[in-house]
Structure 1
Amino acid sequence: MYVAMVRPRWSDMDVFGHVNHANLVTLLEEARVPLLFDEAGRAGLAEFAKGMVVVRLGVHYHSPIVVDGQEIRVEISLRELKFASLTLDYRVYSGPLAEGKPSVTAETVLAPYELSTGRPRRLTEAERAFLATRLTETADE
Structure 2
Amino acid sequence: MYVAKVRPRWSDMDVFGHVNHANMVTLLEEARVPLLFDEAGRAGLAEFAKGMVVVRLAVHYRAPIVVDGQEIRVEISLKDLKFASLTLDYRVHDGPDAGAPVAVTAETVLAPYDVTTGRPRRLTLEEREFLQTRLTEAGA
Sort the TM-score into its range (normalised by shorter chain). Answer: over 0.9
Query: Is 1:18 paired with 2:31?
Result: no
Query: Is 1:82 paired with 2:82?
Result: yes
Distance 1:25 1:139, change over 3 A: farther
| 8 Å CA contact retained: 1:112, 1:123 | yes
Distance 1:139 1:18, change over 3 A: farther
Spell out, residue by residue over 1:96-131, the C-alpha distance to the aligned partner (whole angstroms, 9 max, x if none). Answer: 012254100000000000000100000000000000
Give the equivalent residue in structure 2 for 1:2.
2
Spell out, residue by residue over 1:62-107, the C-alpha distance to the aligned partner (whole angstroms, 9 max, x if none). Answer: 0000000000000000000000000000000010012254100000
Which segments of 5 or more consecutive residues in structure 2 lack a partner in the other structure? none
Q: Which moved more, 1:99-108 or 1:35-44?
A: 99-108
Distance 1:5 1:100, change over 3 A: closer
Distance 1:46 1:102, change over 3 A: same
The separation in 2 between residues aligned to 1:135 and 1:32, in whole angstroms, is 11
The separation in 2 between residues aligned to 1:85 and 1:122, in whole angstroms, is 8
Give the equivalent residue in structure 1 for 2:70.
70
- SS of equivalent residue, structure 1 residue 36: helix
Query: Is 1:93 paired with 2:85?
Result: no
Taking only aligned residues, the RMSD between alpha carbons, in angstroms, comes to 1.2
* Paired residues, number: 140
| 8 Å CA contact retained: 2:80, 2:88 | yes
C-alpha deviation, 1:138, in angstroms: 5.4
The separation in 1 between residues aligned to 2:85 and 2:91, in whole angstroms, is 20
Give the equivalent residue in structure 2 for 1:39.
39
- SS of equivalent residue, structure 1 residue 103: strand
The separation in 1 between residues aligned to 2:32 and 2:60, in whole angstroms, is 17
The separation in 1 between residues aligned to 2:75 and 2:37, in whole angstroms, is 17
C-alpha deviation, 1:13, in angstroms: 0.3
- SS of equivalent residue, structure 1 residue 88: strand
The separation in 2 between residues aligned to 1:97 and 1:85, in whole angstroms, is 30
Which segments of 5 or more consecutive residues in structure 1 lack a partner in the other structure? none
Identity level (%):
82
The separation in 1 between residues aligned to 2:100 and 2:139, in whole angstroms, is 17
